[in-house]
Structure 1
Amino acid sequence: MLARALAHAHERIEEAVERLSLGRVDLPLIVVGGGAQLVPDDLPGAGDVLRPDRADVANAVGAAISLAGGRADQISDAEDRDAAIAAASEAAIAKAIQAGADPLAVEIVDVLETSLSYTTRPTLKVSVKAAGPLSHLAAPIPAR
């Protein structure tokens, strides 16, 4: 069963390499993260398979430098656009803080407005995304 699972994983990796290489062959493939060990050293369609030092912790580094975010939607009359954006922004910021973002560094990163059809009055859907750096990466180590 393990051999079949590995064969399936290798097949999926080969398909991904083929799709991403856009017809170019023998390009080096750099593998990182916990799944890098599943990538065979000899991969059809790829050149050298490179595993940088500490490649196994790349996921942890990415998680440590990521942003915490929150998203909120608001539906309102089209003439209340500014109020809808303000309400959705406030809710998105609150969700980002709840997800662990630093309250002093959260900012709005995306506002999407969509007119809704088939309503009796002009109606607008506002989607707002807020994001910010994590408020703390790890608990402080107590002094002894």
Structure 2
Amino acid sequence: MTTRSRVLKSTVRPATIDEAETLRVGPGAKLFDMRRLRFLDDLPVVLEHNRLPLALCPALAETDFSKASLFATLRSGEPPQFPRVADYSVEARQADDTERELLEINDATPVLLAHQLAFNQDGRPLELTLAIYRGDRYRFRGSITS
């Protein structure tokens, strides 16, 4: 399958108090904030909202993510960032009007909201993401160990 992204928004802005607490940065610290629509074979699959502390990878602000990979940019950054583990939760709900339009939903197809907090090689929060998937184009599989 061919993948591509359409960047809807890409900016640097101050972290809110909630974001700062989650990402363990100071309130008002610079965050890279990106919203993009991701496709597989020209079919919209997911609407993503990524937030990352800019100090961990200043190159984020200068990268064209319609062509570049977010994780490849992190790995090649100075200093390199290696996502190692993430807290992840998924829930279903109906799409709002904007999500229906962007994800090309014309019926009662639900969306799946995936909340993710990824941590780097040092155990530091690296990326806070909300991904909104078309319910008919996404399946989550995982392994549970004890």
Q: TM-score, normalised by structure 2?
A: 0.22
**Bigger fraction of residues in strand:** 2
* Higher gyration radius (CA): 1
**Bigger fraction of residues in helix:** 1
